[in-house]
Amino acid sequence: MTPVAGIPKHVEATLSRRNLLKSAGMLVVSFAGFDPGEANGQAPAGPYPEVDFHQLDSWIVIHEDSSATFYVGKTDCGQGTGTSFRQLMADELDVAYEKTTCIMGSTDITVDQGGSGGSTAMERDSWPMRRVAAEARRVLLEMGSQRLGAPVDQLAVSAGVITVKGAPSKNVTYGQLIGGRKFNVTLTGSNINATNGRALVKPVQELKNTGLSPQRYDIPAKVDGSLKWAVDMRLPGMVHARNVKPPFAGAKLVSVDESSVRKMPGFVKIVTKGNYVAVVCEREEQAINTAKALKLNWEKPATAPFPSSEDLFRYMREVKPTSSSRSVVVGDPESAFTNAPKLIEADYDVPFQGHTAISPAHALADPSNGQMTIYSNDMKSYGMRRGVADFLGMPREQVRVVWMEGPQGFGRTAADDAGCEAAYLAKEIGRPVRVQWMRDEETAWDTKAPAFAVKLKGALDAAGNLLALDYDARSADYNHVGYNEPDTVLIAQLMGIRPAKPASGSASMPSEMYAIPHRRMATHVVSLPLVWETPLRTGNLRDPNGPQSTFASESFIDELAAAANADPFEFRMKLLTASSAEDGGFRRARSIAALKAVADAYGWDRRSSPKPRGTGDTLTGRGIAYAFRGQTVVAEIAEVEVNVRTGRVWVKRLVAAHDCGLVVNPESLRHTVECAMLHSLSRALHEEVQFDGEKVTSVDWNSHPTLTHADVPGEVRVVLVNGDPNPNRPDLPPYGAGEAACKPMLAAIGNAIYDATGVRLRRIPFRANRVLAALKTSQA
Amino acid sequence: MSVTLKVNGKSHTVDVDASTPLLYILRNDLGLQGPRFGCGLGQCGACTVIMNGVATRSCIVPASAAKGEITTLEGLARNGELHPLQRAWIDEQVPQCGFCQNGQIMTAKALLDRNPKPNDAQIREGMKGVLCRCMTYYRIQAAIKRAVKTIAAKGGAA
Ligand code: FES
Ligand code: FES
């Protein structure tokens, strides 16, 4: 295979390995399933069949110098997961961390672990990696035993060298045993997560690199400009495309005036189907200009697609839900509420919030030789391969996705949409096509975290104990789009393609461990009038519903604490210690440990909120909140300064206590948690998708503000906690990180603003004008 | 029109429409990948280059206005040695995805060239318009402070 110009070196080296024994100076094995006819005796329908995860050779290649390359089915969206995989696999394999490399997420050379999502990198996907690395070590020890003429239990292994115990001159390296050759070992497991060999993984105490913080290997090339990203991919003969989106949600394309652009420089083609429109030009700026100049005639829909963002929460509360969950009931909430001495009620609102990635979506598709290669940063490259193949009606074996780095991937981003668009256009044009969305397109049309309207009710007894709590959430999440679905990607929607039924969507419940005698929790999903071809389409954004529901529930707990005249930390501790029931994951004990750790690290003084109102322009206050995501628990404290003249909120200090079980790389975990907190700080202070009755109006960084350097707290501190109540137990398994830390932040900020000012803000975001208005109302 | 640009010390002549934004010339004609498209509106900083000593948003500079010495991220290292800011970025492990970091580093470079010892408020102010959606701001500011120290220790020369 001739190397294609412009493919990054590491990708090129691995792509070319299919037909060459030698690439990048190393002998390599070929994967099972790569050679037509090898797998199951049947010829695959194309050159890119799936990589067989049952072959050890699909996961690990040992080179002659005893270095190892790991091929994993994940993508690293900037949280440093690749470095952590190397640490764990190096530990299980017994090679030096420095002598390992990790190749990720390109569908024809790495096994399909689904890419990224749900903070599952360590929690779920690191397990098969550890097991296959342990299996490789086992096989190598057996080979070493034969070579050295000593039984396996007489052998020691360190940094890729096997020695006979007590006779260190008798040794052999991994490279000498297998360098550049195949293991030919078949693994077991009914699915990839269950992949297993005969070896057992090591006990945590024996993992040497795990728990250390080697620097992330991907960072140097990101700061010296040498990394080639998906956005940098260029191919000979490629053309540039830009979409032209409907100017109103639900608009119908009536006519296209090709003559308005036919004579423009570099013009190649206008592609339309249904309401999908794209222009293709030789150069990038030509495509941008042509897309702007193209005259189209659109017809507005007969009825309004959605209410305006100002009217959204009224609409959500009044409309009949499309579905409702079964209520979770503890005790007898109804009579508790009827007889309670003190009742509190409040409504909480969170608007739609988008991904608004720093780089608009992009992809390059190459239709050469009747196959389809997509160069993409999509975090679910494997799903994109299937989605594109199905969308184009091509056998999956003819489609591959080469994963390359890109802007933040926090869930179902528009990268999914751009991949299908590029592939469709490449097939139409017969040349490689690069698609890039524009800023307004990205900000208006990327998928959104659903808006939430939550109703809360609480009952306190005369002593200020929480007797009963009612949580009732509505989420505007009907037709939540999945990942890379050939019938819900935007191009499919605009072409009029629909699945049989829209996805039902979801809302979520609080995730704390409070023991409350009487409780009812219910969730509902509501739909906006327009379901298809709308910019207000929901999709996963980190924990899709967690920040919204936690904002409501953890703010309301604060309201109850204030009504009980109790310290917000102690009020929570009392609710946690009210039950001693042991639970899976020791969630109650770990909640208490996280809350204690964050209070200690912050230096929390016990008193009720709000604090006596200060004088002067700047009021300060502190707020606390906590939540689980899966088995990961995080507690956060924010200290804010509120300027009462401008309404501006500045968060001075942020402290988190984070317990996600086994920590693989503490430094990169801390960094991920820091950034997750700031992401939610941005959502708390700035972010809101705004729209009038026909289109999204927040379309750039002026109309859709985000956190900036000016907002950065003076201190951001992350304390890593092991809250396991039994100190003699080996570490808990690794749980997820990234999403959990996003959850409590909105409430922590709102609670801190209340502490500072005595004003309770129940609607996100806390923009200066809203804070100011609330302060004024409270004084009036 | 034919435009001659001096980028990272080398001269290049390209034939493009006079209105073509500098960003596309750097990326598509010169094959540079430091400057990136983020908004095309001068609002995010991802496309920042240093033009005649000034941090400049190449997405809104037409070819006809691109004059003088242009430095991109690729041109910051000297004799194979990273600029102290780049070093500090690695030491502080700044990036998450890293997409915005070109703009962060180039803007910080122009800031330190103007003011080698900025205080916290000046760093916030000077960097304010460069956005990071992974929210690595806290570490960016730490890295700038670290680079300030290295540069001072080297006698002020970056
Ligand atoms: S791309 Fe130039 S400022 Fe955003
Ligand atoms: S590091 Fe991802 S946008 Fe800044």
Chain B residues lying within 8 Å of A439, measured CB to CB: 38-41, 43
Cα distances from A165 to residues A147, A151, B30, in angstroms, run 15, 10, 58
**Does residue A589 share a domain with residue A501?**
no
Give percent helix, percent strand, percent coil of chain A, each to the nearest 5.
Answer: 35, 25, 45
Mean pLDDT across chain A: 93
Residue B135: pLDDT over 90: yes
Alpha helix segments (H runs only) across chain B: 22-24, 84-91, 101-114, 120-127, 137-153
pLDDT at A579: 85
Contact: B38, A713; criterion CB under 8 Å:
no
Contact indicator for A106, A120 with CB cutoff of 8 Å: no
Give A402's contacts (C-beta < 8 A, 6+ positions apart): A7, A11, A15, A106, A107, A373, A374, A375, A376, A381
Structural domain count, chain A: 4
Chain A residues lying within 8 Å of B129, measured CB to CB: 708
| Token pair recorded at residue A8 | 């990054």
**Does residue A409 share a domain with residue A276?**
yes
Q: Is residue B158 part of a domain?
A: no
**What torsion, rounded to 10 degrees, do the Cα atoms A149, A152, A153, A155 define?**
70
Model confidence pLDDT, tens digit, residues B16-27: 999 999 999 999
Asked which of B25, B57, B75 is the last residue of a domain, the reply is B75
pLDDT at A121: 84
Model confidence pLDDT, tens digit, residues A106-132: 999 999 999 988 778 888 999 999 999
Cα distances from A88 to residues A125, A515, A664, in angstroms, run 11, 38, 8
CB pairs under 8 A between A and B: 172
Mean pLDDT across chain B: 96
- What is the Cα–Cα distance from A307 to A451, expressed in whole angstroms? 13
| Structure confidence at residue A17 as a pLDDT band (50, 70, 90) | very low
**Does residue A413 share a domain with residue A378?**
yes
Residue A591: pLDDT over 80: yes
pLDDT at A33: 37
Percentage of chain A lying above the pLDDT 90 cut: 89
**Does residue B8 share a domain with residue B58?**
yes
Q: Is residue A310 part of a domain?
A: no
**Does residue A253 share a domain with residue A394?**
yes
Residue A638: pLDDT over 90: yes
pLDDT at B158: 61
Closest CA to B100 of A367, A675, A473, A683: A675
Beta strands in A309-451 (DSSP E): 323-324, 328-330, 342-350, 353-354, 362-366, 372-376, 399-403, 433-436, 448-449
**Does residue B12 share a domain with residue B69?**
yes
Contact indicator for A765, A753 with CB cutoff of 8 Å: no
Alpha helix segments (H runs only) across A241-394: 284-293, 312-318, 333-339, 381-392
Pick the residue of A440, A671, A709 with the most B CBs within 10 A to test the interface with B by mutation.
A709
* Phi, psi values for residue A668, rounded to 5°: -75, -25
Task: Provide the 8-state DSSP code for A4.
Answer: P
What SS3 state is found at A730?
coil
What SS3 state is found at A76?
coil
Give the residue, A581 or A397, on which the prediction is more confident. A397
**Does residue B111 share a domain with residue B68?**
no
Cα distances from A126 to residues A19, A120, A420, A495, A733, in angstroms, run 29, 9, 29, 39, 11
Contact indicator for A652, A771 with CB cutoff of 8 Å: no
- What is the Cα–Cα distance from A752 to A360, expressed in whole angstroms? 34
Q: Is residue A574 part of a domain?
A: yes
Contact indicator for A337, A470 with CB cutoff of 8 Å: yes
Q: Which domain holds residue A260?
A: 231-302+361-436
Residue A748: pLDDT over 80: yes
- What is the Cα–Cα distance from A385 to A372, expressed in whole angstroms? 9
Residue B60: pLDDT over 50: yes
Contact: A707, B135; criterion CB under 8 Å:
yes
B142–chain A nearest CA distance, Å: 11
Asked if the ipTM is above 0.90, the reply is: yes
Asked which of B40, B75, B110 is the last residue of a domain, the reply is B75
- Residues in B 137-156 with any Cβ partner in A closer than 8 A: 137-141
Unique residue bearing structure tokens 């049989």: A500
Q: Is residue B58 part of a domain?
A: yes
Contact indicator for A275, A495 with CB cutoff of 8 Å: yes
Residue A2: pLDDT over 60: no
Nearest CA in chain A to B106: A223
**Does residue A332 share a domain with residue A190?**
no
pLDDT at A535: 98
* Phi, psi values for residue A3, rounded to 5°: -60, 140
Closest CA to A422 of A580, A235, A266, A252: A235
**Does residue A100 share a domain with residue A160?**
yes
pLDDT at A156: 97
| Structure confidence at residue A701 as a pLDDT band (50, 70, 90) | very high
Unique residue bearing structure tokens 């509190």: A344
Number of other residues whose CB lies within 10 A of the CB of residue A127: 18
Contact: A219, B32; criterion CB under 8 Å:
no
Least confident of A84-93, A324-333, A731-740: A731-740
Give the H or E element holding residue A128: helix A126-148
* Phi, psi values for residue A355, rounded to 5°: -70, -45
Checking B40-43 for CB contacts under 8 A at 24+ apart, the result is B40/A288, B40/A438, B40/A439, B41/A439, B41/A700, B41/A701, B43/A439, B43/A700, B43/A701, B43/A702, B43/B129, B43/B131
Q: A42-60: b or e for each residue (b if 16 or more CB lie within 10 Å)?
A: eebebbbbbbbbbbbbbbb
| Token pair recorded at residue A666 | 């503490």
| Structure confidence at residue A41 as a pLDDT band (50, 70, 90) | low
**Nearest CB to A219; choose among B32, B95, B141:** B95
Q: Is residue B38 part of a domain?
A: yes
**Does residue B118 share a domain with residue B66?**
no
**Does residue B70 share a domain with residue B38?**
yes
Residue A12: pLDDT over 80: no
Give B146's contacts (C-beta < 8 A, 6+ positions apart): B88, B91, B92
Model confidence pLDDT, tens digit, residues B78-125: 999 999 999 999 999 999 999 999 999 999 999 999 999 999 999 999
| Structure confidence at residue A27 as a pLDDT band (50, 70, 90) | very low
Q: Is residue B101 part of a domain?
A: yes
Classify the C-alpha dihedral B80-B81-B86-B87 as positive or negative.
Answer: positive
Give A448's contacts (C-beta < 8 A, 6+ positions apart): A352, A353, A354, A536, A537, A538, A539, A541, A689
Task: Provide the 8-state DSSP code for A123.
Answer: I
- Residues in B 2-61 with any Cβ partner in A closer than 8 A: 16-17, 19-21, 24, 27-28, 31-34, 36-41, 43-44, 46
Q: How long a stretch of residues is chain B? A: 158
Q: Is the CB of B136 under 6 A from ligand 2?
A: yes
**Does residue B65 share a domain with residue B88?**
no
| Token pair recorded at residue A527 | 């739909």
**Does residue A512 share a domain with residue A480?**
yes
| Token pair recorded at residue A571 | 């009020």
Q: Which domain holds residue B56?
A: 2-75
Q: Is the CB of B139 under 6 A from ligand 1?
A: no
**Does residue B141 share a domain with residue B120?**
yes
**Does residue B115 share a domain with residue B69?**
no
**Does residue B96 share a domain with residue B67?**
no
Residue A26: pLDDT over 50: no
Q: Is residue A3 part of a domain?
A: no
Q: Are strands A252-257 and A161-164 parallel, antiparallel or unpaired?
A: unpaired
Structural domain count, chain B: 2
**Does residue B34 share a domain with residue B17?**
yes
Asked which of A169, A195, A223 is the last residue of a domain, the reply is A223
pLDDT at A6: 41
CATH number of B143's domain:
1.10.150.120
Q: Is the CB of B131 under 6 A from ligand 2?
A: no
| Structure confidence at residue A42 as a pLDDT band (50, 70, 90) | low
Q: Is residue A308 part of a domain?
A: no
pLDDT at A120: 84
- pTM, full prediction: 0.95
Beta strands in A177-330 (DSSP E): 239-243, 252-257, 267-273, 276-281, 295-299, 323-324, 328-330
What SS3 state is found at B157?
coil
* Phi, psi values for residue A16, rounded to 5°: -80, -5
The pLDDT of A423-452, averaged and rounded, is 98
Give the H or E element holding residue A523: strand A518-525
Sheet holding A618-629, edge to edge: A618-629, A632-643, A649-659, A715-720
B76–chain A nearest CA distance, Å: 8
Least confident of A8-17, A443-452, B75-84, B147-156: A8-17
Q: Is residue A541 part of a domain?
A: no
The pLDDT of A201-227, averaged and rounded, is 96
Nearest CA in chain B to A404: B97
Distance between first and last Cα of chain A: 76
Asked which of B56, B75, B94 is the last residue of a domain, the reply is B75
Per-residue DSSP letters for A283-306? SHHHHHHHHHH-EEEEE--SS-SS
Contact indicator for A423, A554 with CB cutoff of 8 Å: no
Least confident of A88-92, B131-135, B151-155: B151-155
The pLDDT of A314-330, averaged and rounded, is 97
Bridge partners for A641 per DSSP = A620, A650
| Token pair recorded at residue A125 | 């996907």
pLDDT at A582: 75
Q: Is residue B65 part of a domain?
A: yes
Query: Cis (ω within 30 of 0) for the bond into A333?
Result: no
Nearest atom, ligand 2, residue A358 CA: 3
Q: Is residue B53 part of a domain?
A: yes
Task: Provide the 8-state DSSP code for A701.
Answer: T
Bridge partners for A629 per DSSP = A632
* Angle, CA A543 vertex, CA A537 and CA A547 arms, to 5°: 95
Give B67's contacts (C-beta < 8 A, 6+ positions apart): B51, B52
What SS3 state is found at A113?
coil
**Nearest CB to B135; choose among A283, A357, A679:** A679
Give the H or E element holding residue A158: strand A155-158
Closest CA to A375 of A309, A439, A435, A463: A435
Distance between first and last Cα of chain B: 36
Model confidence pLDDT, tens digit, residues A514-545: 999 999 999 999 999 999 999 999 999 999 99
The pLDDT of A139-147, averaged and rounded, is 98
Residue A10: pLDDT over 50: no
Q: What's the A36 CA to ligand 1 centre distance in angstroms?
A: 47
| Structure confidence at residue A584 as a pLDDT band (50, 70, 90) | confident
CATH number of A594's domain:
3.30.365.10
Contact indicator for A646, A717 with CB cutoff of 8 Å: no
* Phi, psi values for residue A493, rounded to 5°: -55, -45
Model confidence pLDDT, tens digit, residues B19-56: 999 999 999 999 999 999 999 999 999 999 999 999 99
Q: What's the A444 CA to ligand 2 centre distance in angstroms?
A: 20
